[in-house]
Structure 1
Amino acid sequence: MSRIDELIAEHCPDGVEFCALGSLGKRNSGTSITAGTMRKLAVDNGPIRVFAGGQTIADVAENAVRPTDIVREPSIIVKSRGHIGFAYYERPFTHKSELWSYTLNDPAIDQKFVYYFLLTQVRKLQDLARATSVKLPQLSVRDTDLLRIPVPPLEVQREIVRILDHFTELEAELEAELEARRRQYDHYRRQLLTFDIRTEWFALSDVVDYTNGKAHEKLADPDGQIPMVTARFISRNGEPNRFVRVEDIQTPANAGDTALVLSDLPNGRALARTFYVDCDNGYAINQRVARLRVKDADFVDPRFLYRVLDRNPGLLKHDNGVDQTHLSKSQVTGLRFPVPSLADQRGVVGMLEKFDALANDLSVGLPAELAARRKQYEHYRDRLLTFKELQA
């Protein structure tokens, strides 16, 4: 930071100029393509990357999109719908027409610097998008075109980019190591959940009571105390973002219940994810999530149910990769479910919980180190990219 402080003291002690993002270069429109078409056109190592909302991407052949829709210069992509965000991409690409991107060619601008600054604006833009559209958060082109960007001297921009690139590289190394550990965990999980011919199997309906969650969206209350269990809540390991009041719970959950995601986008990562309920009346099960309650805890350990159902292949097979998946009650309750001895069930659960902690527990090991690194990165990024505006 001392080097940055020295540069600012030397080059811009009184503040920096701010300019509208749209004035710093060219805004690129996208291509008319659907998510389904993207999946059909996807090829391994395709030279053109197509971006859609969220994390959806596809690599396609050169002739899969119109040449005039391809951007061949490093650019900043605006994820303008749903989860608002930005991507920086240096190879040839295009994106769906409801997205847009910027190629900044102003000689006074380091484009990567602008990208890093935009990351500090995501929360503000997400709030703006939610205020504009209740159903699906949506930014307008004007929202980003007019966004004011600090423009310190180029030397300052480049030093900030160098520092933040270094943080990003360190984080990427930890992410790669953690991903390798999670693959190892998945390998052992598959082994532990493979049962021999002596194991009895039952229809899931024989061992659990099934209840569909009810709609709580209209009951959401900023002063509510009870987290709403949605697909997002489960896929983020129990991170709440919407709440209801105790008296408004339509589908309560009790300790030992398993919540199961029933609906997701094609090839989504939330389908059939599970959440284990650890207290009575502490959660509200929302629509498109099922509540599963073990009928006899002396026959099936509730935690064993939670572990076996999580991303269960017998449920994931209903995702055809093209259409949105909606698991039906019959598809879930008709699943064949293994029931080894209670001692074996608890042994499997104990082993899986140890592996899970190593791969996912944010309080220990690599996950904790990665979380701390991200927090440190965001702190320095926000500090480095906060500038006083030069007064005319």
Structure 2
Amino acid sequence: MSGVSFLEKLLDGVAVDWKALGDACFFEISNSGRKPVKASLREPGETPYYGANNIQDYVEGYTHDGEFVLIAEDGSASLENYSIQYASGRFWANNHVHVVRGKAQVNTRFLYHYLCIVDFISFLTGGGRAKLTKGSMVDIQIPIPCPENPKRSLEIQAEIVGILDSFTELTTELTTELTTELTARKKQYNCYRDQLLSFKEGNVEWKALGEIGEFIRGKRFTKADYVEDGISVIHYGEIYTRYGVFTTQAYSQVRSDMAVSLRYAEPGDVVITDVGETVEDVGKAVAWLGDEKVAIHDHCYAFRHSMDPKFVSYCMQATPFVAEKAKYIARTKVNTLLVKGFSKIKIPVPYPGDPKKSLAEQARIVAILDILDGLTNAVSEVLPYEIALRQKQYAYYRDLLLSFPRPEEVAA
């Protein structure tokens, strides 16, 4: 489909008029009903409570009922892709959004799609927390095709909305399908991993980590110490977000003059976090398989041992060991697991009397888990890529379908 030719065909020579969002003949601004409520004072319910970027809560009561577009007044997560939300039915709007809708001659869903392509930056005021005042918002121009014929105008708007909504629906369906597939793969992977590491049968001894190796705690560094070219480091926060079961390279570096003050994980060590927002996060591990040593943060321990490092790392993620770790976690402001607790956590050591055979069995299990982990990660990587692709496709056609000629272009 050629977006330009389709729009030209759809318009079929009819005029396009541009109306300011403050034109009361075409648009309604319903800001007067907005009402902010502190989280502690909200009464739980089923009504969505909207803030600048998304639904923040579900509450009793409502401020608006109908079909509206919510434009961030301040606090938009992005200024380039300004926060525009579509709400229908009963909802609660706080004072960080402008609440607008089309009147008889304007399809509110059409208004939503068009506002998504508006460059709001020129309408914003303020510094660190840019604000879209009502006085600026009312000057935003909206195209109205065939204004002299409201019936035909609404038909054109509806056809554009139908196409763009179809793209949105396809993206939603794909996201749901891939998310379901990913959830199933993760569940399957976790099941196989836990079975492989349960050792209900066979020659195995469960040993405490303190019997198997030693723990070396890292030294503190901050983001202010980061540089583009320096000493490779692993920050504990990155283990939650950037690393998998193992890694051969670090993602961050700190100043070279810090070398003497830091502590390091050596090749084959397993780097383990000692804090986390959840019990599952505490003790999350990554096997360091790089060629050289890497500095570690003071919320990490380098576990030095003689086992297969990936086997140890897989054990630390498995369901039985999450429960084992939970026994020793101190629940203060953050969940913390100290070295005494780590030392007591037991993991299976297959063929404990035969080191060579033990490592071979560990390697066999690791090879199976690597395949399963790779399949799960493949789906994880496809999900954001496919969603981004659909969103890019939607944005392309949206821009073409909403590229109405402006008066100065017609005159030229």
Look up the match of 2:308. Answer: 301
Matched residue SS, 2:171: helix
Q: Identify the match of residue 196 of structure 2 among 189, 192, 200.
A: 192
Give yes or no for contact 2:226–2:253 (8 Å, CA) kept in 1: yes
Structure 1 residues 173-192: aligned runs within 5 Å: 173-192=177-196
Q: Write out per-residue CA displacement over residues 75-115 of structure 1, whole angstroms, 9 at most, x where no aligned residue.
A: 769796999997877686779x8x95565423444276379
Query: Aligned AA for 2:267?
Result: A
Structure 1 residues 103-114: aligned runs within 5 Å: 103-107=99-103, 108=106, 109-110=108-109, 113=113
Look up the match of 2:274. Answer: 262
Q: Identify the match of residue 317 of structure 2 among 310, 319, 326.
A: 310
Question: What is the CA–CA distance in structure 2 between the aligned matches of 1:168 and 1:82, rounded to whole Å?
Answer: 21
Q: Say if 1:345 and 1:355 are closer, same or farther in 2 by CA, change over 3 A.
A: same
Look up the match of 1:164. Answer: 168
Look up the match of 2:362. Answer: 345
Question: What is the CA–CA distance in structure 2 between the aligned matches of 1:318 and 1:72, rounded to whole Å?
Answer: 52
Look up the match of 2:61. Answer: 67
Look up the match of 1:274. Answer: 285
Q: Say if 1:141 and 1:350 are closer, same or farther in 2 by CA, change over 3 A.
A: same
Give yes or no for contact 1:70–1:93 (8 Å, CA) kept in 2: yes
Structure 1 residues 109-120: aligned runs within 5 Å: 109-110=108-109, 113=113
CA-based RMSD:
5.1
Look up the match of 2:131. Answer: 142
Q: Which stretches in structure 2 are left out of the alignment for 5+ residues?
A: 122-126, 145-156, 352-357
Give yes or no for contact 1:259–1:275 (8 Å, CA) kept in 2: yes
Matched residue SS, 2:227: coil
Matched residue SS, 1:255: coil
Give yes or no for contact 2:207–2:349 (8 Å, CA) kept in 1: yes
Note the C-alpha offset of 1:359. 0.8
Query: Aligned AA for 2:197?
Result: L
Question: What is the CA–CA distance in structure 2 between the aligned matches of 1:16 and 1:320, rounded to whole Å?
Answer: 62
Q: Say if 1:29 and 1:271 are closer, same or farther in 2 by CA, change over 3 A.
A: farther
Q: Say if 1:382 and 1:285 are closer, same or farther in 2 by CA, change over 3 A.
A: farther
How many residue pairs get aligned? The number is: 351
Q: Say if 1:168 and 1:24 are closer, same or farther in 2 by CA, change over 3 A.
A: farther
Give yes or no for contact 1:53–1:83 (8 Å, CA) kept in 2: no
Please, what TM-score do these two structures have when normalized by structure 2?
0.63
Q: Write out per-residue CA displacement over residues 293-333 of structure 1, whole angstroms, 9 at most, x where no aligned residue.
A: 332x2xx2111111111263323567799953233333333
Question: What is the CA–CA distance in structure 1 between the aligned matches of 2:287 and 2:65, rounded to whole Å?
Answer: 45
Please, what TM-score do these two structures have when normalized by structure 1?
0.65
Note the C-alpha offset of 1:116. 6.2
Return the structure number with greater strand share. 2
Give yes or no for contact 2:264–2:302 (8 Å, CA) kept in 1: no
Question: What is the CA–CA distance in structure 2 between the aligned matches of 1:315 and 1:102, rounded to whole Å?
Answer: 48
Q: Say if 1:163 and 1:26 are closer, same or farther in 2 by CA, change over 3 A.
A: same
Q: Say if 1:17 and 1:81 are closer, same or farther in 2 by CA, change over 3 A.
A: closer
Look up the match of 1:220. Answer: 226
Matched residue SS, 2:198: coil
Give yes or no for contact 1:26–1:104 (8 Å, CA) kept in 2: yes
Note the C-alpha offset of 1:383. 2.7
Question: What is the CA–CA distance in structure 1 between the aligned matches of 2:238 and 2:52, rounded to whole Å?
Answer: 16
Q: Write out per-residue CA displacement over residues 153-190 of structure 1, whole angstroms, 9 at most, x where no aligned residue.
A: 64445522321321231232122112111111111111
Query: Aligned AA for 2:284?
Result: R
Question: What is the CA–CA distance in structure 1 between the aligned matches of 2:55 and 2:339, rounded to whole Å?
Answer: 28
Residue 244 in 1 paired to residue 254 in 2?
A: yes
Q: Say if 1:53 and 1:383 are closer, same or farther in 2 by CA, change over 3 A.
A: closer
Q: Say if 1:304 and 1:233 are closer, same or farther in 2 by CA, change over 3 A.
A: closer
Q: Write out per-residue CA displacement over residues 270-296 of structure 1, whole angstroms, 9 at most, x where no aligned residue.
A: 4443323231447543343x132332x
Query: Aligned AA for 1:67?
Result: G
Query: Aligned AA for 2:269?
Result: D
Matched residue SS, 2:217: strand
Question: What is the CA–CA distance in structure 1 between the aligned matches of 2:239 and 2:54, rounded to whole Å?
Answer: 17
Note the C-alpha offset of 1:379. 2.6
Note the C-alpha offset of 1:339. 1.9
Question: What is the CA–CA distance in structure 2 between the aligned matches of 1:151 and 1:80, rounded to whole Å?
Answer: 23
Query: Aligned AA for 1:215?
Result: F
Structure 1 window deviating more from structure 2 (81-90 vs 240-249): it is 81-90
Question: What is the CA–CA distance in structure 1 between the aligned matches of 2:347 and 2:389, rounded to whole Å?
Answer: 44
Look up the match of 1:328. Answer: 338
Matched residue SS, 1:215: coil
Matched residue SS, 1:279: coil
Note the C-alpha offset of 1:234. 3.3
Look up the match of 1:209. Answer: 215
Give yes or no for contact 1:235–1:270 (8 Å, CA) kept in 2: no
Note the C-alpha offset of 1:50. 7.1
Give yes or no for contact 1:178–1:359 (8 Å, CA) kept in 2: yes
Q: Say if 1:203 and 1:169 are closer, same or farther in 2 by CA, change over 3 A.
A: same
Note the C-alpha offset of 1:259. 2.7
Note the C-alpha offset of 1:256. 2.3
Look up the match of 1:291. Answer: 301
Structure 1 window deviating more from structure 2 (81-90 vs 173-182): it is 81-90
Q: Say if 1:100 and 1:55 are closer, same or farther in 2 by CA, change over 3 A.
A: closer
Q: Say if 1:191 and 1:106 are closer, same or farther in 2 by CA, change over 3 A.
A: same
Question: What is the CA–CA distance in structure 2 between the aligned matches of 1:323 and 1:168, rounded to whole Å?
Answer: 38
